[in-house]
Chain A
Amino acid sequence: MGKYTDFTQADTTVENKAATVESVSSKKQKRSNAITAVNEDPAVRKAIKSKKLKLRRRRKFLEWGEFTLYLLPSLAGVVIFFFWPLVKLIKTSFQRSSTNTDFVGFTNYSRTISNEAFVKAAKNTLTFAAISVPLAVILALLLALLLNSGLPGKSVFRSILLNPMMVPVASIVLIWQVFFSYNGVLNGWFADWFGADPVDWMKSSKAQVVIMLLFLWKNLGYNMVLFLAALNNIPTEVIESAKMDGANALTRFFRIKMYYLSPTVFFVAIMSLISSFKIFREVYLLTGDYPYDTLYMLQHFMNNAFTHLDYSKLSSGAIIMCVAMIIIVGVLFFAESKFDADVEE
């Protein structure tokens, strides 16, 4: 910013302008020689202003060019690994197949939407997200509030809650299998303590509950840390002044803390939503290509379509899922912007 002089904030006197211009390049110096004279004529002032504008634009353009050059490698990566596949995907979804580029309109989409398996998968995925994401947000917030309340051994609890993030997926799957398989630890405990019959956790209506537990166990720690950081950023004087004004804890929480936490709540919700879709990885490792009904997710549908080389079904399913995600996230953005409208910076 030191290289160029910001003319808009420079002194308005012509001498200062001339002196400032002199300090730039020789070309500009020549030009500056042409406008050393003070002139009150509006036409002349207009001409001067337009020349300044041109110089400013040129400078801006050079600035933009420089940082675009720096960004180019990243841009290239984003284009090649994100936008280009997306465009190809959209293109494939309107073709007969990956090797036959005949345009078939929305046939693939109607075929996918009318597929019972797709409908089941979509329902399961949305149900899972609708239950587990709010739980992930609320429980993480509660944990953060608890740890922020001056509990002893806070750092120990924080480490314990963060540990699941470090465990590899394969190990998590193994742990869950040991616990929740038909001949697993949990059934063993129930049989020993209560004499209960074994429950096939992964192949019954309780399967989604097990997966939700896995999801929460894995993600609560990270969400909690985000909330902890946000809580620490709330100005204490606002809380104290509210206390002095007679606000109780609940009022302080909902009227003050939640306002400050709203961006974090929104961020955590988005991240949890994304994580809820990624749970397919664990489910696939636990149950294979064709799991029990309630565990059959959209990714199963698409993964199997990929295995069976049905790329048109795969791509149309992926686009439908993408559109659904955009709508959901768009709604969240809208809600956040409304909620945040009167939050002071």
Chain B
Amino acid sequence: MLSRKRGKMRKSRIAAACISAVMVLSSLGLGGCSSKTDEDVSDDTTTWYSAQKKDASEYYSDLDISYDSKLTYLVGVCGDYIIAWTYMFHNDYDPDAPIQDTEDYFMDLYSVQGDYIKSIHVNDYIDLEDYSVSAEPKVNDEGVDIILDGYDVNTWRSSRFKMTLDLESLELGKPEDLDKNSDPYEYRYVNASHQDVWKVNGYSIHLYYNNGTNRNGRSSYILLIIDPNGEEHVIDLANEFSDISIIDLTSYIAMPDGKILIFANFGELKLVLDPESMTVTEAGDEMDWLDDIFFYGITNIEGEGAFVVDNYDSSQVLAKLNFEERKIETVIDLSNVLINPFDINSMLLVDIHDGEYVMAGTLYNQEFATVTIKELEEDPYEGKTELKAVSLTGYDYGIYESILRFNESNEDYYIKIDHSYDSDHNDINVTTLDEYNDQSNVRQAEMSDQLMVDLMAGAGPDILFNTFSLSALNRGEYLVDLSDRISDDSRYFTNIVDASRTGEALYQMPLTINIKGIFTSDEFADDGQDGFTFEQYVRYVDEACNGDDPMSDYTTQKAYFSELFNSCSDLFINTSGCDFSSEGFREFASYIKDHVNNTDNSLPGDDGVEIVYQGIGGRNAAASLTSGEYKTLDDFSVFINSYAQNFRDVRFLGAPSPDGRGPSFRVETSVAVSSSSSEIEGCCQFVDMLMSDEMITVLAYDTENLESVAHMVSAPRGVMTGDSSIPVNSSVLDEYMQTLIRSYNSDVEYYQNIFTADESRMMGLPTEPVSDDIMDVYREFVSSCDHARFEDPYVAVILSEELQAYYEDQKTIDTVIDTLTNRVNTYLSERG
């Protein structure tokens, strides 16, 4: 019996073994032993589009008018014509002359197919000797008028005239006196000014803006709607929405159901106008899908629908708004159009016909043009090998331009942009600045992890832009050593190039940089001083800055610490591990604890551009030198305006650090080549092109024509700083500086002929020319940087978690250092 039982048990085991074997084998079959799939075959199903640009440049280049600046903008579409308006401001400003003699106005006419027709010099038609008027175009029910606003030079009585463009002959009529009775709409409402006319589905909607003077400051609009039968209907939004102010009615969408969606209050409020019932209501949640849209870029094409040019899904696109499915459908990916997307991303779609999309507006260089986009039947890059390019931080004008030029000029290769690794930070929804920085870092870390894994797998891109911060990539197994591409060291800032190397190899080529440090007066810095130790900095803030810390913009201890740590992390972390036990780190932590308070952890505002007013007589510049300023080294144009007269007194020093090091640089634009690329030679050809003087100029200054940038040097109303970058090619920087100095001194000469020195100072204009020595000073600032700023988001998180207890006096620095070293070493050893 026992043997029978044992026999049964043996059989059961055999049966179980068989079943297990079957399961394993079936798993193998399911799992498969397939070889590498052909995922690296280039996708040749891209739809490419041609872009035909037309403008009035030939007309304006032949004009015998010298002007200081020119501005053109799109007025609208009237009938079969696209109307643009151009202002020109003269160099020879005569304050006593009529306005129409100091400014020139032009109406540029294009067909809706995008063809340039003619430009009308409006001033030639302003036959008003006794009047001083300025001109402004205005669209009306029938077409477009030009409104002349001004005054009688003899009686000082205000006057208003109108000239009408005849859409048949395309000629302007003579000025007609525009009294209150001549226009049925202009002065319809006493407390509301006529602002605009919308023509939608046969309705004319006149918008009257009431600034709220009789409504306790609550502004609103009156809508005068003329239906297709000619009947008038009035909707006073003040009655419909009595509790809120309504402003900025500039955009609308004609929806398929006949209603009109209106954006108000800078997009915060959406209204729905129903022309059938003549009612206006607030849009419900069903319109939430339009919350993030760039509503200023919306146009309505009759018979086609509503379109918008916007960033969508990490790409710049022309998109259609699908109201049935409530989604934004990409019509054209602008990176597949044979034009720089930045040239058309601020344009509006004005017409669609025969498969052609006509866009009108200002190009990136602020010149007006129409661009007709048409799908290409054939692949423009047929026969060329595709190279894939990615960027971690998006693409700017310069990168797009370099890719376009390479694609046009290279016979064997073309580059296609891949948006897979773009990290979008626009939807981060947090309440504090520290949280935003943390989440932003995590997003970027996720994308960089993905990129690193793909590179390691040989499945990544061929060309990498702006991955300089990913120091883990700096190995021969990931990237190609680009040292050979530098043929002549003397052309570059060797300190920047050398600081970018890993050992002897240069895996990521810096192309443009920016430098951050502290501007101060020479009297507060010692000879040979590059930066500040913490002790020196405390003394400096007390004595030179009267206690006002130049780095006070960093309003939390965490942000302040991160800012300083990023420029000196190499002191504590290297390839073999980390060590925070040094005296330097203790000093660092102690400084943050004792001298930095958490003052404001709120998120910053929406200002993307800093307006820097040059002040009166350089007063602001002198003030900043005294108090010290921690900022990015300005673009040279701003530097001249700020320090033209006292540049020899300026010192640019590094932020406080344990070793008192000089300013650090951050690479704005970099390029690298994947060592797994099957077309390394082609990629290197692109790198060579990028490193040419022409392309570096475009990358740094968004144009090759430095003269066009130079004219802004001494603009009296202030200079836009925006994002400036410094080219790694020292020869390009020299040329730029020389151009600006020439322009600056030319402006000084001009102002000296018109104004006295006191008048110039009052208006914030330069009074003395600047010498070329300023170039040496600026160049010296750039040459003083010998280390890059670097941030590892995971290390940053660990540091902020542990140091918080020290800042709050809960732990000693020794305890914190022990934990920090422990945790960071774990992280570093894990990464390998």
Which A positions have Cβ atoms within 8 angstroms of B? 64, 75, 78-80, 83-84, 86-88, 91, 96-102, 111, 115-118, 120, 182-183, 198, 200, 203, 288-293, 296, 301, 304-305, 307-311, 313
Complex-state Cα separation, A293 to B449, whole angstroms: 24
Asked if A200 contacts B819 (CB within 8 A), the reply is yes
Contact pattern, B 446-479, Cβ under 8 Å of A = 1, otherwise 0: 0001101110111100000000000000000000
Asked if A293 contacts B31 (CB within 8 A), the reply is no
Contact pattern, B 788-832, Cβ under 8 Å of A = 1, otherwise 0: 000000100010010001000011000100010011101101111
Complex-state Cα separation, A290 to B456, whole angstroms: 24
- Considering the complex, give the chain B residue whose CB is closest to the CB of A98: B457
Binds A, one of B20-28, B422-430, B661-669: B20-28
Given contacts A83-B24, A83-B27, A200-B819, contact A91 B33 (CB under 8 A): yes
The interface residues of chain B lying within 8 Å CB-to-CB of A291 are: 823
Q: Is B157's beta carbon under 8 Å from chain A? A: no
Given contacts A100-B458, A101-B35, contact A290 B826 (CB under 8 A): yes
Residue of A87, A111, A117, A308 touching B28 (CB-CB under 8 A): A87
The interface residues of chain A lying within 8 Å CB-to-CB of B452 are: 308-309
Complex-state Cα separation, A97 to B826, whole angstroms: 23
Given contacts A79-B26, A203-B819, contact A101 B36 (CB under 8 A): yes
The interface residues of chain A lying within 8 Å CB-to-CB of B810 are: 182-183, 198
Asked if A290 contacts B27 (CB within 8 A), the reply is no
The interface residues of chain A lying within 8 Å CB-to-CB of B827 are: 290
- Considering the complex, give the chain A residue whose CB is closest to the CB of B830: A117
The interface residues of chain A lying within 8 Å CB-to-CB of B811 are: 182, 200
Q: Is B41's beta carbon under 8 Å from chain A? A: no
Residue of B23, B31, B457, B798 touching A290 (CB-CB under 8 A): B798
The interface residues of chain A lying within 8 Å CB-to-CB of B31 are: 84, 87-88, 91
The interface residues of chain B lying within 8 Å CB-to-CB of A75 are: 19, 23
The interface residues of chain A lying within 8 Å CB-to-CB of B19 are: 75
Counting chain A CB atoms within 10 Å of each CB, the highest count among B28, B453, B794, B805 belongs to B453
Asked if A290 contacts B458 (CB within 8 A), the reply is no
The interface residues of chain A lying within 8 Å CB-to-CB of B34 are: 101
Q: Is B39's beta carbon under 8 Å from chain A? A: yes
Nearest chain B CB to A6 CB, angstrom units: 13
The interface residues of chain B lying within 8 Å CB-to-CB of A101 are: 34-36
Given contacts A290-B827, A301-B830, contact A87 B819 (CB under 8 A): no
Asked if B457 contacts A99 (CB within 8 A), the reply is yes
Given contacts A182-B811, A307-B449, contact A120 B826 (CB under 8 A): yes
Nearest chain B CB to A292 CB, angstrom units: 6
Q: Is B30's beta carbon under 8 Å from chain A? A: yes
The interface residues of chain A lying within 8 Å CB-to-CB of B449 are: 307-309
Asked if A97 contacts B23 (CB within 8 A), the reply is no
Top 7 closest pairs, chain A to chain B, by CB: A117-B830, A100-B457, A116-B829, A83-B27, A97-B457, A309-B453, A84-B27
Contact pattern, B 1-44, Cβ under 8 Å of A = 1, otherwise 0: 00000000000000100010001101110110111100100000
Instruction: Supply 5 A–B pairs (Cβ within 8 Å), ascending by A.
Output: A87-B24, A101-B35, A182-B810, A182-B811, A183-B810
Which B positions have Cβ atoms within 8 angstroms of A? 15, 19, 23-24, 26-28, 30-31, 33-36, 39, 449-450, 452-454, 456-459, 794, 798, 801, 805, 810-811, 815, 819, 822-824, 826-827, 829-832
Counting chain A CB atoms within 10 Å of each CB, the highest count among B801, B810, B832 belongs to B832
Counting chain A CB atoms within 10 Å of each CB, the highest count among B449, B452, B810, B829 belongs to B829
Nearest chain A CB to B515 CB, angstrom units: 32
Asked if A115 contacts B829 (CB within 8 A), the reply is yes
The interface residues of chain B lying within 8 Å CB-to-CB of A79 are: 23, 26-27, 30
Complex-state Cα separation, A291 to B34, whole angstroms: 39
The interface residues of chain B lying within 8 Å CB-to-CB of A182 are: 805, 810-811
Nearest chain A CB to B298 CB, angstrom units: 39
Asked if B36 contacts A293 (CB within 8 A), the reply is no
- Considering the complex, give the chain B residue whose CB is closest to the CB of A304: B830
- Considering the complex, give the chain B residue whose CB is closest to the CB of A102: B36
Complex-state Cα separation, A28 to B456, whole angstroms: 68
Complex-state Cα separation, A120 to B577, whole angstroms: 15
The interface residues of chain A lying within 8 Å CB-to-CB of B28 are: 87
Asked if A310 contacts B805 (CB within 8 A), the reply is no
- Considering the complex, give the chain B residue whose CB is closest to the CB of A307: B449
The interface residues of chain B lying within 8 Å CB-to-CB of A309 are: 449-450, 452-453
- Considering the complex, give the chain A residue whose CB is closest to the CB of B35: A101
The interface residues of chain A lying within 8 Å CB-to-CB of B458 are: 96, 100
Given contacts A97-B456, A99-B454, A182-B810, contact A290 B35 (CB under 8 A): no
- Considering the complex, give the chain B residue whose CB is closest to the CB of A79: B23
Nearest chain A CB to B675 CB, angstrom units: 14
Complex-state Cα separation, A118 to B826, whole angstroms: 10
Complex-state Cα separation, A286 to B36, whole angstroms: 41
Nearest chain B CB to A180 CB, angstrom units: 15
Complex-state Cα separation, A96 to B23, whole angstroms: 26
Residue of B27, B459, B831 touching A100 (CB-CB under 8 A): B459
Given contacts A102-B36, A290-B794, contact A87 B829 (CB under 8 A): no
The interface residues of chain A lying within 8 Å CB-to-CB of B801 are: 288
Given contacts A87-B31, A183-B810, contact A292 B829 (CB under 8 A): no
Asked if B826 contacts A296 (CB within 8 A), the reply is yes
Nearest chain A CB to B809 CB, angstrom units: 12
The interface residues of chain B lying within 8 Å CB-to-CB of A97 are: 453, 456-457
Residue of A102, A115, A292 touching B819 (CB-CB under 8 A): A292
Complex-state Cα separation, A293 to B26, whole angstroms: 42
- Considering the complex, give the chain A residue whose CB is closest to the CB of B36: A101
Nearest chain B CB to A197 CB, angstrom units: 10
- Considering the complex, give the chain A residue whose CB is closest to the CB of B453: A309
The interface residues of chain A lying within 8 Å CB-to-CB of B30 are: 79-80, 84, 87
The interface residues of chain B lying within 8 Å CB-to-CB of A102 are: 36
Asked if A115 contacts B830 (CB within 8 A), the reply is yes
Counting chain B CB atoms within 10 Å of each CB, the highest count among A87, A200, A304 belongs to A87
Complex-state Cα separation, A79 to B25, whole angstroms: 10
Nearest chain A CB to B817 CB, angstrom units: 12
Complex-state Cα separation, A313 to B453, whole angstroms: 11
The interface residues of chain B lying within 8 Å CB-to-CB of A80 are: 30
Asked if B36 contacts A83 (CB within 8 A), the reply is no
- Considering the complex, give the chain B residue whose CB is closest to the CB of A100: B457
Residue of B23, B456, B830 touching A78 (CB-CB under 8 A): B23
Nearest chain A CB to B466 CB, angstrom units: 20
Complex-state Cα separation, A299 to B794, whole angstroms: 18
Residue of A87, A200, A290, A307 touching B823 (CB-CB under 8 A): A290
The interface residues of chain A lying within 8 Å CB-to-CB of B459 are: 99-100
The interface residues of chain B lying within 8 Å CB-to-CB of A310 are: 453
- Considering the complex, give the chain A residue whose CB is closest to the CB of B454: A99
Nearest chain A CB to B99 CB, angstrom units: 64
Asked if A111 contacts B832 (CB within 8 A), the reply is yes
Nearest chain A CB to B607 CB, angstrom units: 35
Nearest chain B CB to A93 CB, angstrom units: 13
Complex-state Cα separation, A182 to B801, whole angstroms: 13
Asked if B830 contacts A99 (CB within 8 A), the reply is no
- Considering the complex, give the chain B residue whose CB is closest to the CB of A92: B31
The interface residues of chain B lying within 8 Å CB-to-CB of A301 are: 830
- Considering the complex, give the chain A residue whose CB is closest to the CB of B33: A91
Complex-state Cα separation, A283 to B229, whole angstroms: 74
The interface residues of chain B lying within 8 Å CB-to-CB of A292 are: 819, 822-823
Given contacts A79-B30, A115-B832, A293-B822, contact A200 B457 (CB under 8 A): no
Given contacts A96-B457, A115-B829, A304-B830, contact A86 B798 (CB under 8 A): no
- Considering the complex, give the chain B residue whose CB is closest to the CB of A84: B27
The interface residues of chain B lying within 8 Å CB-to-CB of A296 are: 826
Nearest chain A CB to B383 CB, angstrom units: 29
- Considering the complex, give the chain A residue whose CB is closest to the CB of B819: A203
Nearest chain B CB to A146 CB, angstrom units: 38
Asked if B36 contacts A100 (CB within 8 A), the reply is yes
The interface residues of chain A lying within 8 Å CB-to-CB of B819 are: 200, 203, 292
- Considering the complex, give the chain B residue whose CB is closest to the CB of A99: B457
Complex-state Cα separation, A97 to B23, whole angstroms: 25
Residue of B36, B456, B794, B826 touching A117 (CB-CB under 8 A): B826
